[in-house]
A and B are shown apart, each in its own frame.
Chain A
Amino acid sequence: MRPGAGTTLLLVLRRELLLGFRRPDQVVQPLVFFLIVTTLFPLGLSVQLSLLREMAPGVLWVAALLSSLLSLEGLFKSDADDGTLEQLVLSGQGLYVIVVAKTLAHWLVSGAALLLVSPLVATALAIPWAAFPVMFLSLGLGTLTLSWLGAIGAGLTVSLKRGNVLLSLIVLPLAMPLLIFGAGATDRAIAGTNALGALYLLGALCVLTCTLAPFAAAAALKVTME
């Protein structure tokens, strides 16, 4: 009997998480990068709390974007290298479901993991406790959206030998709205004003990309496989 979309989703998720578990270095490296980059700023800037607080949302978000990018290249590349990507494309399951599952798994081991260490970074950047809920929410939505956008870029660059630079050039311009609204929301939360507007926009971007990006990524994969 042919497995349905739900089974496929669980199967791919399970496999990706298992692979992440077997290769913890690939999960941990972007996190360490995130921690180090954000720690460099307080060291390089003056130790004035007020200045640090003003810079904090931007620093936090730029570091989050860059560290998510680090792991994006491997999204389809490792499967393309060992021939499993062809098998996935020919699995009879439709590439849409597979792309959705792979991207969700990518977010779980990169974005969600980043959320877990973000309190540490936020404390180092002197972000007040009161701003943590908004920071969590905005980072969660932002990294998830970035994973969807990144899936398109990863699909387009999968057949290139050194595609990571091109991948950044494709994804980062698309991620600018995320940076603006994400850092904006965190900024407002730090200032103690209402951050809902920016959060709504982030949510809208997330919904938009999670419905459309898998189509684009699947099409990109099919073209690059030829």
Chain B
Amino acid sequence: MSSAAGLSVESVHVWRGDRHVLKGVSFELGVGELLQVSGPNGSGKTTLLRVLTGLLRPERGRVVWQGREIGAAPLDYQHALAYASHEPALKSDLTALENLRFLVGLKRRVSLDELHGALQRTGVGHCADLPARVLSAGQRRRVAMARVLAVQAPLWLLDEPYTNLDTAGSEVLSGLLGAHAAAGGSALVVAHHDLDVGHPVRRLGLM
């Protein structure tokens, strides 16, 4: 059964004030699977992602990772998780490398060479020593992607990772997603256009 190894979401309901944002969302995300979440603005895509990270607790329903509810062992779950939100989560006064060194360093012991490697794979190796403040929006997105890559987590949760990326950047990202899935990783990606990653992608539409 795929649910024992991956992520299983069982009829999750979330209300924001009077608004019923998530109305019983259920799906399974197994090992080596990619899931694309799409839907109109305000349909609760980001809310769903926040529920999946554990930042937001659903009023009803549950989220299970490898057979355990995520609230039962939050730290273990967080170690299996790489989350990229709307914001690239970079300190503008630190360089790209310093940003990664800190955020990745909290998750695992990592060498500078590995971080340089991750930045190079997302095409921003030359920006390593530039403060994040001077990077363009697309470059920041790539640095955020390098972070996700360097964390080496089995589960990726990416909120609109294609925003601000140029054609080359989108291809790099698709390549990384394909490689991640091929290596046995799972990813949930919020995106508005159909993903073309050279790997089967399941789709989940939110209303």
* Chain A residues near B (Cβ < 8 Å): 1-3, 7-8, 11-12, 14-15, 18-19, 22-23, 82-84, 86-94, 225-226
> At the interface, yes or no: B23 with Cβ under 8 Å from chain A?
no
Give the residue name and chain of the B residue nearest to A78 (CB).
Answer: B91
If A2-B108, A226-B57 touch, does A87 touch B79 (CB 8 Å cutoff)?
no
Whether A93 pairs with B106 at a CB distance below 8 angstroms is yes
- How many Å from the CB of A46 to the closest CB on chain B? 46
- How many Å from the CB of B89 to the closest CB on chain A? 4
Which listed residue (B78, B85, B89, B92) contacts A92, Cβ 8 A? B78
**Interface class of chain A by DSSP:** helix
Give the residue name and chain of the A residue nearest to B83 (CB).
Answer: A90
User: Which of B88, B90, B91, B103 is the most central at the interface, judged by chain A CB atoms within 10 Å of its CB?
Assistant: B91
Q: Which of B32-40, B48-56, B170-178, B194-202 contacts A (4 or more CB under 8 A)?
A: B48-56
Give the residue name and chain of the A residue nearest to B102 (CB).
Answer: A15
List, in ascending order, chain A residues with CB within 8 A of B56's CB.
226
- Please report the total number of B residues contacting A with Cβ < 8 Å: 29
Whether B55 pairs with A90 at a CB distance below 8 angstroms is yes
A43 to B103, CA, bound (A): 49
Whether A93 pairs with B108 at a CB distance below 8 angstroms is no
List, in ascending order, chain B residues with CB within 8 A of A93's CB.
75, 106
Which listed residue (B86, B106, B109) contacts A88, Cβ 8 A? B106
Binary A-proximity of B144-172 (CB < 8 A = 1, otherwise 0)? 00000000000000000000000000000
* Chain B residues near A (Cβ < 8 Å): 53-57, 75-76, 78-79, 81, 83, 85-94, 98, 102-103, 105-109
Whether A22 pairs with B94 at a CB distance below 8 angstroms is yes
If A19-B94, A90-B81 touch, does A83 touch B87 (CB 8 Å cutoff)?
yes
Whether A86 pairs with B92 at a CB distance below 8 angstroms is no
List, in ascending order, chain A residues with CB within 8 A of B78's CB.
90-92
If A18-B94, A84-B103 touch, does A1 touch B89 (CB 8 Å cutoff)?
no
A23 to B93, CA, bound (A): 8
10 pairs of A and B residues whose beta carbons are closest in the complex: A83-B87, A92-B78, A83-B89, A91-B106, A92-B79, A22-B93, A15-B102, A87-B89, A84-B89, A90-B78
